[in-house]
Amino acid sequence: MISRTLAAELPDRVGRPVSVAGWVHRRRALKSMSFLVLRDRTGLAQVVLPAAADLPPEETVVRVDGLATANPQAPGGVEVTDAVVTALSEHATAPPFDLYRPTLGATLPVVLDNAAVALRHPRLRARFAVTSASTAGFRSALDGAGFTEVHTPKVVGSATESGANVFGLDYFGRRAFLAQSPQLFKQALVGVFERVYEVGPVFRAEPHDTTRHLAQYTSLDAELGFIADHRDVMAVLRDTVAGMLAAVADRAADALDLLGVELPEVPMEIPVIHFAEAQELLARHTGEDPRGEPDLAPAHERWLSDWASRTHGSDFLYVTGYPMAKRPFYTHPDPGRPEYSNSFDLLFRGVELVTGGQRLHRYSDYLTALSARGEDPEPYRGYLDAFAHGMPPHGGFAIGLERWAARLLGLRNVRETTLFPRDLNRLHP
Amino acid sequence: MISRTLAAELPDRVGRPVSVAGWVHRRRALKSMSFLVLRDRTGLAQVVLPAAADLPPEETVVRVDGLATANPQAPGGVEVTDAVVTALSEHATAPPFDLYRPTLGATLPVVLDNAAVALRHPRLRARFAVTSASTAGFRSALDGAGFTEVHTPKVVGSATESGANVFGLDYFGRRAFLAQSPQLFKQALVGVFERVYEVGPVFRAEPHDTTRHLAQYTSLDAELGFIADHRDVMAVLRDTVAGMLAAVADRAADALDLLGVELPEVPMEIPVIHFAEAQELLARHTGEDPRGEPDLAPAHERWLSDWASRTHGSDFLYVTGYPMAKRPFYTHPDPGRPEYSNSFDLLFRGVELVTGGQRLHRYSDYLTALSARGEDPEPYRGYLDAFAHGMPPHGGFAIGLERWAARLLGLRNVRETTLFPRDLNRLHP
């Protein structure tokens, strides 16, 4: 038996015997001959068969032995002739939609209910070539900058970010929670490795059914020590985003092509605007006056993104200095204006994509911050220890992988860039 | 301010002004002068100070500006003189052990209770350079073989492997479980990407307190389609293990050096013995007769490993064909001897390191297998759909990252290669 040829390799095999294998993407019986279009992980291959051939139904898995033959009419300029078809699976049940159409004509709930089959559609599959490449780029950018990859607990004894939106579970008879982020672990690990990253699931018991929220998503987390302030973190994030886009361009070129997506440029210096200045701009230009608000509304994020695009030619914009009031307890204040924080959001094409900033690093600051919020330091003991035993100034950021990919691909709903989403209503498949 | 020099870079800076930063690893006041040993992520640096200098306590984070000066007596042949010390943290509280001693003189429970600080010990930190490099090697081996990285749900509506040892949780008022493995997801995704891998947490409500079990561990999972049988999976696993070891040699050389670890060689062809044949061998040579047993005892795994080392010069041994009775429902039988399976274990230096095999791929086989075990197919509906809609012959494997690293480093307890272990008794820090 000769070894398998992938669809994308067929043009290099013209005139030679080949063995291709994959799913029956489409079958067509004409008067004078029949066709099978075979789908594998690299693309489609056309197979020519006699008119009377017995054609297995769509999605059946087959091996086809035959001859790679040039034909300018065939996709890729080559087809398989003199073909012998062997089924590798039983005859497949028809999916509830036609996978061979250029776009999948099904509503999102039908797609998600039938994810295992719907994801086979080349346009859906292509999205995950982009997420996969993005993750690889995230890692290689940080590997190159001296970071260490870590794996932290997803089951914790106390809620990490706040008591809200946390899943509880029974842990050998004790009360435990699913981690909402690796925040406190990655900070403690700055004390060990100085620079760490983690790619892993985080869990939010998000009681709202929106296009932006999931009960589980993939968080790309990074944290680094020995910084001057949040601007050092922003510089690392800039290079990380550039690395992610370079990896997508390099490893998912076919997917981008199929989806008709053009990647953004990351400026060497992403434009920066302070929160207070952003509010001034909005007051001056939008007819609204958001001054005094502790956060930006989604419409304001969109306006600022447009503004960055118009005035700086950038798809990216850093907003810095969010008021301390709306930031978590570990946030470092701006020493010059302590009502503002050394934090930032990275806006990308109208939405907040990344949140990050400098963290507190002095033990006594943690005790003060927790006490100011009326929180008991006791549940945080294991993490606060790291600070009592000496921690450098540090900061970090987290990128939501599904949201990043949705935005990059121009998709509205994060469920469209999640293989098997989990949300308020969805626990299957 | 000049930019930071890392400890490992000091030898290249002799005669020049430098700024180093890190933790006070050790302070020593002598009659005529004082010393600080500074620790950063790359190693140690010696700092010379006047006799009367005020030395911050161990673990305080400091920046030291001074002059890199050659001194054959100093570690690395260079020290920092004319030093000005600036504290970057408050004075550190003393840890419950001395981090500056060559080995950490503390029991495992004390180490784990104080993980955030204990992990700073160079020998402990070095272990995680090895896990991190192993993971990178796993990914790059599979990336090179056309695999796609995926992220699957960790919260599921039904137990994946069996009803036992599963954590339950309240999911918006519904009963849900933490995934014991990505098994059924990765199989379904073979239908989409043909070859997938995932690095992620898995959860086992393991009621036993042993050196080999954790409630959460990191599973390196792979699955591939269009195989002839389990031997194709074994070939991919062989190359993956070789890739992991190559990455460790390349990216964690200093850690191996510090720990005095020598890496094993992976033979081009890992020796293979069939389960039945292994039992014959054991009966012939050990004075015991395990024939009729459905699995190998740990002592038998050790004997077989020794045998492979003696007769084949290999630290690795494949045992194939485990009886169907002890394997999960998705296991593919050996077509020639259906009481045995197309499965394998990879033994490494006496312990089972990897389990894998060929899976069932026909929908009707799944219905038969579940029914034979008295299981209702309904909870598996979302996954079984993938098989109804056509799935190629496929198989895969899973490597427990912490167990792999422990075995590689000659450590007895998997907790020693886990940053923050979770087990029957441990939910903190």
Is B416 annotated in a binding site? The answer is no
Residues A155 and A15 in one domain: no
Q: Does residue A190 sit in the same domain as residue A283?
A: yes
Last residue of a domain, which of A87, A104, A133?
A87
* Nearest of A237, A190, A183 to residue B21 by alpha carbon: A190
In a domain, A428, yes or no: no
Best probe of the B interface among A192, A229, A402, by most B CBs < 10 A, is A192
Segment A228-245 shows an average pLDDT of 98
Instruction: Among B87, B109, B133, give the residue marking a domain's end.
Output: B87
Report the DSSP pairing between strands B216-225 and B195-203.
antiparallel
Task: Provide the sign of the torsion angle of the four alpha carbons B168, B172, B174, B178, taken in this order.
Answer: negative
pLDDT band (50, 70, 90) for residue A335: very high
Are A132 and B146 within 8 A, CB to CB?
A: no
Our CA-based measurement puts residue B340 at a distance from the nearest CA of chain A, in whole angstroms, of: 22
Neighbouring-strand partners of residue B225: B394
Residues B78, B211 within the same domain: no
B337: helix, strand or coil:
coil
**Does residue B139 have a known ligand-binding role?**
no
Which CATH number characterizes residue B272's domain?
Answer: 3.30.930.10
DSSP state of B378: G
CA angle A126, A127, A133 (to 5 degrees): 90
pLDDT surpassing 70 at residue B162: no
Q: What is the pLDDT of residue A75?
A: 85
Interface test with B, best of A2, A114, A169 (most B CBs within 10 A): A169
Which residues touch A337 (CB under 8 Å, ≥6 apart)?
A321
Report chain B's mean pLDDT, rounded to a whole number: 95
Which band of pLDDT confidence, cut at 50, 70 and 90, is reported for residue A173? Answer: very high
CA nearest to A389 within chain B = B92
Across the interface, of B41, B148, B151, the residue whose CB is closest to A201 is B151
Q: Are residues B353 and B256 in the same domain?
A: yes
Eight-state DSSP code of residue A4: B
Average pLDDT for B103-111: 95
Q: Range with the lowest mean pLDDT among A221-235, A261-275, A289-303, B120-134? A: A289-303
pLDDT tens-place string over residues A350-396: 989 999 999 999 999 999 999 998 888 888 888 899 999 999 999 99
Q: Quick one: pLDDT at residue B164?
A: 75
Count of domains observed in chain A: 2
CB contacts, 8 Å: A135 with chain B: 149
Report the chain A residue with the minimal C-alpha distance to residue B192.
A120
The predicted model gives A150-168 an average pLDDT of: 85
Claim to verify: residue A298 and residue A363 sit in the same structural domain = yes
Judge if A16 and A154 occupy the same domain: no
Q: What is the pLDDT of residue A76?
A: 87
pLDDT one-digit tens code per residue, B357-410: 999 999 999 999 999 988 888 888 888 999 999 999 999 999 999 999 999 999
Q: Please give the residue of chain A at the shortest CA–CA distance from B22.
A: A392
Residue B269 included in any domain:
yes
* Of residues B162 and A57, more confidently modeled: A57
Q: In 3-state terms, what secondary structure has residue A342?
A: coil
Shared domain for B276 and B373, answered yes or no, is: yes
Residues B318 and B272 in one domain: yes
Please report whether residue A127 resides in a domain: yes
Compute the mean pLDDT over every residue in chain A, rounded to the nearest whole number. Answer: 95
A398, part of any domain: yes
Same domain assignment for residues A54 and A128:
no
Any domain includes A378: yes
The pLDDT tens digits of the residues spanning B308-353 come to: 999 999 999 999 999 999 899 999 999 999 999 999 999 999 989 9
Which residues of chain A make contact with B141, given a CB cutoff of 8 A?
A: none
Residues in A touching B4 (Cβ below 8 Å): 226
User: What is the percent of chain B where pLDDT is above 90?
Assistant: 89
pLDDT at residue B75, as a whole number: 85
pLDDT at A160: 60
Q: Are residues B184 and B252 in the same domain?
A: yes
Cβ–Cβ of A171/B215 closer than 8 Å? yes
Residues A140 and A82 in one domain: no
Within a domain: B138: yes
Residue at A325 is within a domain = yes
- A187 and A314 in a single domain? The answer is yes
pLDDT number for residue B160: 60
pLDDT tens sequence across B232-264 = 999 999 999 999 999 999 999 999 999 999 999
Domain interval for residue A46: 7-87
Across the interface, whether the CB atoms of A89 and B392 are under 8 A apart is answered: yes
> What pLDDT does residue A158 have?
82
Could you give the C-alpha distances from B101 to A34, A174, B26, B79, in angstroms and in order? 77, 37, 9, 20
Name the least confident of A20-29, A158-167, B41-50: A158-167
**CATH at B16:** 2.40.50.140
Of B40, B36, B48, the closest CA to residue B20 belongs to B40
Q: Does A162 have pLDDT greater than 80? A: no
For residue A107, tell me if it sits in a domain: no
Q: How far is CA B98 from the centre of its chain?
A: 27
Q: Residue A161: which pLDDT band, with cuts at 50, 70 and 90?
A: low
User: What are the beta bridge partners of residue A333?
Assistant: A341
